[in-house]
Amino acid sequence: MVKVKEDVSSYNKRASSMMFHQAETVIPGGVTANIKHFSPYPIFMKEAKGSKLIDVDNMEYIDYSLCYGALITGHGHPQILEATMNHLKETGTMIFGTPHELEVEMANKLIELYPSIDQVRFANSGTEAVLLAIRLAVAHTNKPKIAKFEGHYHGGLNQMLVSVNPSEDQAGSLESPTPVIESSGIPEDEQENTIVLPFNDLAATEKLLRAHAHELAAVILEPIQGGFIPAEELFIHGLKKLTDELDIVLIFDEVKTGFRVDIGGAQRAYNINPDLTTLGKVLGGGLPVGAVGGRKDIMMQSAANAKGDVFAVGGDSAETTNVVFHSGTYNGHPLVLAAGMKTIRMLEEGYLLDILTSHTMHLRTRLEELYASYHIDMQTIGMGSIFNIVFTKKPVKNYRDMWQADTAFRKEIDMELLDLGIYLKPLNRYSMSISHTLEDIDKTVEAHEIALNRVLKRKYQQAK
């Protein structure tokens, strides 16, 4: 078994600390995305390859964040690098600024992999994809409000930053959650345009949907909440039946789950065809991307035409109201799609996804066995190549069930793991890649045991 370092017993990344303090002077909060921050300071990286990261203190880590799941082939996979470099050399440009053949090729591939998708539009992030999906749903139904599930995250949109992580005293009743705005700078009326639903509770969800059906354009959900809490079969099939009946557009946000649960997303695993699907992360092969796909009658609302061009000086502006506006200079970026197409081709070859899922289950089983041997209540929850570690023996079916988990203990373990060369932002889910090896898994399990013993020893000493 591979041995890991045991000589570091406290979180001390000197160069990262210095760099973070420098960053704080020029970047608000020291990071350019809030999700990248954690206390006392985040770790700054300088190199990466395969399953490994190297920080500015020259410490190596096995990476289980993988850019929050985007890097399913690992860091800098030679085939991905080759595909992007070859495309750049062959075309002679970073971007055309015009339509190009890779847009058609990727759209056809997504239509092939996702039975629910008839047509596709590209964007630059999952957040942008959700924005378009909501706009399409509102235009299609001519209804103003959106329903989302408590604890589900759909990007940084005003209307979606509601009840992502509400506190117990703010969340309201289980059957009818209170909408809680999760950011300053959002007008209060945004709260009125978002209905919050209880995940995996079909009876309560049905009651709320029927009460608001006349004003609801769409229901959006992560079919696997946070990338690790799966929807129950009866719940998600019941939800599909309800939205069909009530003329509400059903949107699957598969930014986290697309290609990781199944190459055709969680919707293929559940055998459900949502009306719209948002994709991102893995689809870009490590480059920024978003996509919306779905029913032709809904997607065609965004079809460009000469009369509906909002940028046409002197054109008929009245015509633009008949078109769902969607644009972006970098939409369908050729380098992004070249990396994405190569990623998909790799995942389709041989048994790569089966091996990846098998390795993920192997790690999950090993970790559960380890903690059980110490008589500690722990379970791993997830599907495909993503999962999370939850310290509770009780079933976890929704956001509120996570309140019963021992997150303080989990954070202590995670902080020790950072010192032992296992990288994951504390309390986040694990993502695996095809670059992770059985040796990586052995080292990870051993690091968990060392981290666990450190935490237990500290607790024992504090109790004396």
| Alpha-carbon span 80 to 84, nearest angstrom | 6
The residue type at 332: G
Q: Quick one: angle between helices 233-245 and 202-212, nearest 10?
A: 10
Neighbours of 387 (CB within 10 A): 23
Instruction: Give me the catalytic one of 55, 201, 253, 401.
Output: 253
Contact present, 198 and 177 (Cβ < 8 Å): yes
**Active-site residue, 275 included:** no
Query: Cα separations (Å) of 33 from 69, 103, 226, 230, 247?
Result: 16, 28, 18, 27, 36
| Cα 253–Cα 257–Cα 261 angle in degrees, nearest 5 | 140
Question: Phi and psi dihedrals of 109, rounded to 5?
Answer: -65, -40
| Alpha-carbon span 254 to 251, nearest angstrom | 9
Query: Cα separations (Å) of 9 from 127, 233, 454?
Result: 39, 44, 8
Neighbours of 180 (CB within 10 A): 18
Contact present, 66 and 42 (Cβ < 8 Å): no
**Active-site residue, 63 included:** no
Strands 386-390 and 379-383, by their bridges, are antiparallel
3 state SS of 242: helix
Q: Which residues pair with 230 in a beta bridge?
A: 224
Instruction: Give me the catalytic one of 52, 148, 240, 281.
Output: 281
DSSP class of residue 377 equals -
Query: Cα separations (Å) of 325 from 296, 311, 380?
Result: 16, 11, 42
Question: Phi and psi dihedrals of 408, rounded to 5?
Answer: -65, -40
| Alpha-carbon span 87 to 94, nearest angstrom | 9
**Active-site residue, 253 included:** yes
14's CB contacts (< 8 A; 6+ apart) are: 57
Neighbours of 259 (CB within 10 A): 23
Instruction: Give me the catalytic one of 153, 270, 371, 423.
Output: 153
Positions marked catalytic: 153, 253, 281
